[in-house]
Amino acid sequence: MDKEITREPILVTRPSMPPKEEFISEIDSIWKNAWLTNMGVKHNALMEALTERFQVKYTALFTNGHLALEMALQAMNLTGEVITTPYTFVSTTHAIVRSGLTPVFCDIDPDTYTIDVEKIEKLITPNTCAIVPVHVYGNICDADGIQKIADQYGLKVLYDAAHAFNETYNGINVAALGDASMFSFHATKVFNTIEGGAIATNHKKLFDTVSKIKNFGIEYGETVNEIGGNAKMNEFQAAMGICNLKHLDEEIRKREKVVQRYREHLENRPGIKLCPQPKNVKSNYAYFPVVFEAQTLGIDRNGISGILEKHGIYSRKYFYPITTDFDCYKHLYDSSETPIAKQIGNSILTLPLYADLPLETVDEICNIIVRAIK
C-alpha cells in the first residue's frame, strides 16, 4: 500500500516574492499619489532599472510578455513569412499568426533545443521577413550564426527571451541581441512582476513605435498615428518588479545550488540526458529539463511523471506537444518535418525548480527517479 502523503505538494515552480513588508512599503506611495497606471512613477523607475541591467538603450514595459512580442512584431512593420521554432510555448506562434504573419518552422539543435542555425537558410524564401528564435530553458541560441544569416538576407531578428532574463552570451546581456528581445515577467519566471513583460532594444524608432502601440497608438494628446491596443504595465506590477529586482542575484544563486544538486544525482546516467553547460553563457538556472530515453530506461517520461505525482511531486511536460501538433495548427503543418523537436517534446520533463526548493527535496525527487529507472 502506498504511503499516505502528509506534506504539501511539490509543484514544478513557485513564484519568487519579496518580504511582504517590503512590498507594502513600496506600494505605499501609490495610495498617496493615486497614480495606478499609464506610465507612472513605479513604471518609470522599473523601466530605468531594467534598461541599465539589460545594457541596452531602451526598454518598453508591458502587461505581459505575449503582448510585448505581438506588438514588437507590429512595430517592425513586417509582412510575409517568419522563420521560428515549434519547440516553444504556444504564445510565440500565436503572436506571429495574430500579427498577420506566416510562421515557417525550423527544427532544433539536439543539445540546446534552440533553433538549428544550420537549417535556417534553406527555409528562406523571397517572402521571408524575419527570424524569431527562442532561448529555451535558459539555453541561448547561436546568436552569432543567426545574425550572420539575417545580415546576409536583410532579415529582422526578434528574440523570444522569455526564459533568458539576466543571462549573458559571450559577455553580452542577451537583451542586446538581434533587433530586439522580448522578456516575460510572468509569476513563474526567474524575475516576475506578477504578470508582465518587456521589449529591450537599441533602436529608438522601434522603442518609440512599440511604446505608442501599447497605449492605443497615442502619440500625445489627441494625436493617434498607430493602430494600437492596451498593454501598459500598471504601478502594482512595477512595484513588485522593483522589489524582486533587489533580490534577483540571491535568487539565482539559490537556483544554481538546486540545479547543481540535481546534476550530482542525475548526470552521466545512461538513458538520462541533461542540457550542457556552455562556458560562453552565464545562466539564470530558470528550468531543469531532463530527457528520459525510454528504450534505454525501460520507462518513459510519462511513467516517471506518474510515479513522481504519486509522491506529491509535480513535474511538467514542457514543451509538449510542440506547436505544430496543437489542434489549431496541426491541419496546417506536419510535425514530422521537425523530427528532433518532436522527439524531444515527446521525452522531456522539467523537474521542480525554484529558489526556496530544499536540497533535501531534490534528493528525494532524484531518489524516486533512480529507483524508477532501475
2 within a domain of the structure (yes/no): no
Residue 90's Cβ-count burial label (10 Å; 0-12, 13-18, 19+) is: middle
1 within a domain of the structure (yes/no): no
Alpha carbon dihedral 72, 75, 76, 82, in 10-degree steps, equals 50
pLDDT, mean of residues 228-249: 98
Identify whether residues 298 and 214 lie together within a single domain. no
The whole-number pLDDT of residue 374 equals 78
Q: Using CA of residue 125, residue 69, residue 200, residue 186, what is the dihedral sign?
A: negative
Identify whether residues 269 and 166 lie together within a single domain. no
CB 258, CB 321: distance < 8 Å: no
Q: How confident is the model at residue 6 (pLDDT cuts 50, 70, 90)?
A: low
pLDDT, mean of residues 348-372: 98
pLDDT, mean of residues 123-135: 98
User: Distance (Å, rounded) from C-alpha 251 to C-alpha 248?
Assistant: 5
User: Distance (Å, rounded) from C-alpha 130 to C-alpha 336?
Assistant: 23
The whole-number pLDDT of residue 7 equals 76
Q: 22-40 burial, b for 16+ CB within 10 Å, e for fewer?
A: bbeebbeebeeeeeebebb
CB 277, CB 283: distance < 8 Å: yes
Q: How many domains does the chain have?
A: 2
The whole-number pLDDT of residue 3 equals 55
Identify whether residues 314 and 215 lie together within a single domain. no
Q: How confident is the model at residue 56 (pLDDT cuts 50, 70, 90)?
A: very high
Identify whether residues 148 and 226 lie together within a single domain. yes
160 within a domain of the structure (yes/no): yes
Identify whether residues 190 and 319 lie together within a single domain. no
Tell me the residue range of the domain where 322 lies. Answer: 248-373
Q: 316-335 burial, b for 16+ CB within 10 Å, e for fewer?
A: beebbbbbbbeeebeeebeb
Q: What is the mean pLDDT of the chain?
A: 97
Domain termination site, one of 190, 216, 243: 243
Identify whether residues 298 and 353 lie together within a single domain. yes
pTM listed for this prediction:
0.97
- Supply the CATH number for residue 299's domain: 3.90.1150.10
Identify whether residues 166 and 82 lie together within a single domain. yes
Identify whether residues 26 and 71 lie together within a single domain. yes
Identify whether residues 234 and 122 lie together within a single domain. yes
Kindly state the helix (H) or strand (E) to which residue 218 belongs, with its residue range.
strand 218-220
The whole-number pLDDT of residue 5 equals 63
CB 179, CB 158: distance < 8 Å: yes
In which order are the strands placed within the sheet that holds 128-132? 58-62, 197-201, 180-184, 156-160, 128-132, 81-84, 102-105
Identify whether residues 209 and 341 lie together within a single domain. no
Residue 1 pLDDT > 60? no
Residue 198's Cβ-count burial label (10 Å; 0-12, 13-18, 19+) is: buried
pLDDT, mean of residues 67-75: 98
